[in-house]
Amino acid sequence: MAKKKKKQMRETLYCPYCKRPGVLRPAAYVYGDNNLDPEKYLYVCSGYPSCDSYIGAHKKSMRPMGTMADSDLRNKRIEAHRALDAIWKNGYMTKHSTYIWLQNRLNLREKDTHIGKFSYYLCEQTIRECTDYIKSREEKKKSPDKISVA
């Protein structure tokens, strides 16, 4: 028996700022000539450009990658991702372990531990936790365990 293809369900999103519906559009609608991926889609606030809230869509399913965000929140999410990525890219943990660690530090469920869903506050918490973790690891490197000779 042949497998049935799942229907691609488009999500109905609403802008958290102006409450207008989000519309699925090619990324070029927002990025114009700066669009690097012609296959990329975004959920864009129907009030765009006066309301600049949007979120990327997964290529295969067209499901949103998180919640719609304005420029400030998008930039804070990028900053949070960079802070989190620094932990596993510097070899302190695996990528998977890093997300489990963050989940525990922020007391979140696994399904909620996606930076694309984070509020400004959770992004700031993520940056703080990651920065503190890296700082503590670097301090341990600088001060090796002292061996007492008796």
- For the stretch 3-35, pLDDT in tens is 555 455 556 899 999 999 999 999 999 999 898
Quick check: 70 pLDDT over 90?
yes
Q: Are residues 97 and 118 in the same domain?
A: yes
Which domain, by its residues, includes 96?
Answer: 72-142
Is residue 147 one of the residues assigned to a domain? no
Q: Within 10 A of 134 (CB to CB), how many other CB atoms are there?
A: 15
Q: Are residues 79 and 138 in the same domain?
A: yes
Q: Are residues 61 and 88 in the same domain?
A: no
Residue type present at position 106: L
Region 70-90 average pLDDT: 97
Q: Are residues 35 and 96 in the same domain?
A: no
Is residue 30 one of the residues assigned to a domain? yes
Maximum pairwise Cα distance, the chain: 76
pTM for this structure? 0.84
Is residue 1 one of the residues assigned to a domain? no
Q: Please, which pLDDT band fits residue 78 given cuts at 50, 70 and 90?
A: very high
- Domain count of the chain? 2
Is residue 7 one of the residues assigned to a domain? no
